[in-house]
Chains A and B, each alone.
Chain A
Amino acid sequence: QTVVTQEPSFSVSPGGTVTLTCALSSGSVSTSYYPSWYQQTPGQAPRTLIYSTNTRSSGVPDRFSGSILGNKAALTITGAQADDESDYYCELYMGSGIWVFGGGTKLTVL
C-alpha cells in the first residue's frame, strides 16, 4: 500500500522560512500526482492552501508556495507568522479516483 511521508514536526522562528516536504514510499512525487496542501488548526476543518503543485487557493497569502523539490512535493512558508502554527497535510492523487494523505507535519512558530 502506498505511504505518503511528511516530517512529523518542524519549528520555525517568526519571520523565518521553512520548507515542509511530502514523499512517496516508492517512487518520486511529480506534478502528475497533483499534490495539494491543507492547513488545519485545532478544532477546525482543513483549509485548502495549495493545489496542483503550486497554485494558491483563493485568499491564501503569497508567503505560502508549493513546488517539486527533487523527488518530493514541497510547501514553503516565507516570513512565517505566529498564526501559521498549525498542522499541514499534503495529499496526492494516485489515479483511478483514489487519493492519499500524508501523515501531517506539526509546525511550531517560536
Chain B
Amino acid sequence: EVQLVQSGAEVKKPGESLRISCKGSGYSFINYWIAWVRQMPGKGLEWMGIIYPGDSDTRYSPSFQGQVTISADKSISTAYLQWSSLKASDTAMYYCARQDPAGLYYFDYWGQGTLVTVSS
C-alpha cells in the first residue's frame, strides 16, 4: 500500500528554522516526484515545488523560490521542506503529494498534512 506519512505538528517562533518531513512507503521512492503544497488557514491550495528523489532535481513555484528549500534523502525514502527563518505568514498546513507514475501530471497520493504554527 502506497503511503506518505508526514511529521507532526510544529509550533515555532518567528526567525526560527524548521524542517518537516514526508516519508514514502509501499513503492519505489526514488522513482516518483514528490511535491509540497501549502494551505494557509481558511484558504486554498498553493503548489510550492517538487523534487525527484532519484537525483534531487528540484523545481519551485516562482512564489516560493528562495523562501523554502525542498530536499530528499533517498536512503530513508523521505522528502523535506525547510525554512531558515520562519515568519508568521508561514503558518499553514503543508501537504506532500506523489506525482503519478505515468506522466499524466497529477498527484495520486497525499500525505496527511503537517500543521506549522509560527507565533511569538
User: Which residues of A come within 8 Å of B, CB atoms?
Assistant: 1, 34, 36, 38, 40, 45-48, 51-52, 55, 57, 87, 89, 91, 93, 96-104
B62 contacts A by Cβ under 8 Å: yes
| Residue from the list A52, A55, A57, A101 in contact with B45, Cβ < 8 A | A101
User: Interface residue tally of chain B, by bracket?
Assistant: 20 to 34
Which applies to chain A's interface (DSSP): helix, strand, loop or mixed? strand
Looking at B95, B110, B113, the one whose CB has the most chain A CB atoms below 10 A away is B110
What residues make up the interface of B, taking CB atoms closer than 8 Å to A?
A: 33, 35, 37, 44-47, 50, 57, 59, 61-63, 95, 97, 100, 104-108, 110-113
Q: Are A99 and B47 in contact (CB under 8 A)?
A: yes
Q: Which residues of B contact A87 (CB under 8 A)?
A: 44
CB-CB under 8 A from B100, the residues of chain A are: 51
**Which residues of the other chain, A, contact B107 by a CB distance below 8 angstroms?**
36, 38, 48, 91
Q: How far, in Å, is A31 (CB) from chain B's closest CB?
A: 11
B105 touches A48 (CB 8 A): no
| Residues of chain B within 8 A of A91, CB atoms compared | 45, 47, 106-107
| CB <8 Å contact, A46 and B50 | no
Q: How far is the CB of A83 from chain B (nearest CB, A)?
A: 19
With contact pairs A46-B110, A93-B105 given, residues A38 and B59 touching in the complex (Cβ less than 8 Å): no
Q: Offer 14 A-B interface pairs, CB within 8 angstroms, sorted by A.
A: A34-B105, A36-B105, A40-B45, A45-B112, A46-B45, A46-B97, A46-B110, A51-B106, A52-B104, A57-B108, A89-B45, A97-B57, A101-B47, A102-B44
